[in-house]
Structure 1
Amino acid sequence: MRTLRQIAAVSGIAFALAAASASAHAEKISIMVGGATKIIYLPAKLTEQLGYFKDEGLDVEILSQPAGVDAENELLAGAVQGVVGFYDHTIDLQSKGKEVQALVIFGQVPGEVEMVSTKAADKFKSMADVKGKTLGVTGLGSSTSFLTQYLAQRAGVSSKEYTLLPVGADASFIAAVKQERIDAGMTTEPTVSQLLKTGDAKVLVDMRTLEGTRAALGGTYPASSFYVQRAWAESHKADAAKLSRAFAKTLNFIATHSAEQITEKMPKDYYAKNKDLYVAALKASMPMFTKDGKMPADGPETVLKVLAAFNPSVKGKHIDLARTYSNEYLSGTATASK
């Protein structure tokens, strides 16, 4: 009996050492987020905070850039293995000959809000009033610029009739409003709630809910997502599946916990001294998240319709939507493409 106990103990130690060794030698995976403190991208940091990457045996580094287009450029340059940004980049990049694939969909709606400066609000009642105005976006070529151009075009205003100004997000966006450098602009929570609290801006177009998104864009619009270069996913299937599982567990956590419970898991610098405001902003945003990370059935077509309406790179091009995303890594059924 003693010998069996000794064997069991030695085996347990060997297993622990092997697991620790495997973890120590796990290849670091860098993921760039297009603004890590934005609530639309909350699953990225929350997954790290909950320990789900480590549970999958992954060594993941979360990095941040102020705009999604900057994160996209880091991915294409090979500086990072993945991006947490908007799904629409996968379509835009395919039109330019780049193969990028979304593996997990975080948001079934953009979570974006077009905010109009309170000082400009009297003469700025809808997107039809953007003529001659300066509109803030996170960056030129970003998803906020895609959506802004589409909303303006849908209201009958061409892109030559207004100015897009890249102002970043969070504090820099708020400063642009306060300094009257922009008349309106597109941003996300918690910036929306901060501007409403101070009274510096009002909501013009709200895409935080399915109802608001369908009214603005004509359908479900999958937005925040985790995407990688297709070649990387196919050559790192195990890692791609582990990352997908980790994010899916986080989305389930969001679906089964309160905004207060989720906020407790986040780093304190994400909400600074405005914890109550952050909780309120998160409550307003939670309906946007998918529960399982899978692509909504009508999503890709809506996004393609929006981009094809104004984006010269996409307009008139054949886009193979099936190659812009995959649900297979979530279910562990991914196979090499033919």
Structure 2
Amino acid sequence: MQPSSGALRQVALAGGLLFAMALHGAHAADDAGDKITIMVGGITKLIYLPARLTEQLGYFRDEGLNVELLSQPAGVDAENELLAGAVQAVVGFYDHTIDLQTKGKDVKAIVVFGQVPGEVEMVSSKAAGTVKSMADVKGKTLGVTGLGSSTSFLTQYLASQHGIASSAYTMLPVGADASFIAAIKQGRIDAGMTTEPTVSALQKAGDAKVLVDMRTVEGTRAALGGTYPAASLYVQDAWAESHKAQAVKLAHAFVRTMQFIHTHSAEEIAAQMPADYQKDKGLYVSALKASLPMYTADGKMPADGPATVLKVLSSFNPSVKGKHVDLSATYTNEFVGAK
């Protein structure tokens, strides 16, 4: 007896459905194994410690993620790699999300590592006699990582708080780490903005002193008027929407790291890091101790943070000045809070 045409249609439909489900399952498995490339704006900087620490602790692996970390010292260049689609995420300063929104780019921070910049304005020992505060920088040369960088906007803002216009001093791009130290030693800059472990290295050598300390909430509030979320993981909105499962896993891995940082000593954290990050172990631990107050405990955005960042950027970033910015679109706590 031949099956009816209706029965044949049902068999074909069921077979097609099973085939589609199999394809979807295979695609989902592929998505889970997709490599996520993260560009870090200077991977050895302690402000970005959570990136490599998460890898070292095996938390990416625990979430079933295939993550590759790359390092690009300038945040602007890392941002360009993201927009070009060469990387899926950036570990860099949150302020890039505000700047990019004014340029029509939809990017948001999905994990916040630093509730403060972790930046320190250092004055060279040679200039320390005449430069006692940012009120004394008129006619001086100030080092920044790059022109148009976060350090340049922060430098201009700090000077403006003392009524000093950006035309009254020179900003010189000197990078970070060894190149910053060389600029101080060679007298090419009188002062400059940098992070740990460069700060501790300069202090240990006696080459520079702290002028403005934004490694703590107290120091940052005194300098900028509020918390200033900085180091963060940001992605393009389109990627977060199309890869929600991966975004949640990525956020979970980083939140575990933030909790690890808050429940372990500087010595215990340093023990997890690669040996080439800490050529001088004592110096590295000392720098880490000084940096611990800047990290968030849960990866969430501090409530007063975005407004402080916008205030600073609106003062000196030509892309942001006078523009309307929807701060709620520049970050989300959705992924760090997801179960």
What SS is found at the alignment partner of 1:315?
A: coil
Quote the Cα distance in structure 1 between the aligned partners of 2:141 and 2:244.
Answer: 45
Superposed CA offset, 1:159-191 (max 9, x none): 111111111111111011111111111001110
Query: Offset of 1:332 from its aligned partner?
Result: 2.1
Q: Summarize the alignment of residues 231-250 of structure 1 with structure 2, pairs less than 5 Å apart.
A: 231-250=238-257
Matches within 5 A, 1:228-307: 228-272=235-279, 274-307=280-313
Matched with 2:135 is: 128
Q: After superposition, what is the alpha-carbon deviation per residue over 1:229-280, rounded to whole angstroms, capped at 9, x for unaligned?
A: 11111111111111111100000000001100000000000011x1011001
- Cα RMSD over matched residues? 1.6
Query: Which residue of structure 1 aligns with residue 104 of structure 2?
Result: 97
Conserved 8 A contact 2:32-2:64: no
Contact 1:23 1:59 in 2 (8 A): no
Structure 2 CA distance, aligned partners of 1:57 and 1:79? 22
What residue in structure 1 maps to residue 222 of structure 2?
Answer: 215
User: May I ask how many residue pairs the two structures share in their alignment?
Assistant: 313
- What runs of 5+ residues in structure 1 fail to find an aligned partner? 1-17, 334-338
> Residue 117 of structure 2 aligns with which residue?
110
The residue type paired with residue 301 of structure 2 is M
Residue 91 (structure 2) aligns with? 84
TM-score by length of 2: 0.90
Please tell me whether residue 184 in structure 1 is matched to residue 191 in structure 2. Answer: yes
Counterpart pick for 1:320 among 326, 332, 337: 326
Conservation of the 8 A alpha-carbon contact between 2:228 and 2:306: yes
Q: Which amino acid aligns with 1:252?
A: Q
| 1:110 alignment partner, SS class | coil
Deviation at 1:24, TM superposition (A): 11
> What is the TM-score when the length of structure 1 is the normalising length?
0.90
Question: Residue deviations 1:41-75, cap 9 Å, x none?
Answer: 00000000001001111111111111212211211
What is the DSSP-based 3-state SS (H/G/I as helix, E as strand, rest coil) of the residue aligned with 1:265? coil
Structure 1 equivalent of residue 33 of structure 2: 26
Alignment identity in percent? 76
Question: Displaced runs of 4+ in structure 1, greater than 3 A?
Answer: 21-25
Larger Rg: 2
Gaps of 5+ in 2: 1-24
**Does 2:66 match 1:59?**
yes
Cα distance in 2 for partners of 1:118, 1:53 equals 43
Tell me the secondary structure at the aligned position of residue 326 of structure 1.
Answer: coil
Q: Distance in 1 between matches of 2:233 and 2:205?
A: 33
Amino acid at match of 2:288: L
Q: 1:69 aligns to what?
A: 76
CA drift at 1:23: 8.7
**1:323: Cα distance to partner?**
0.3
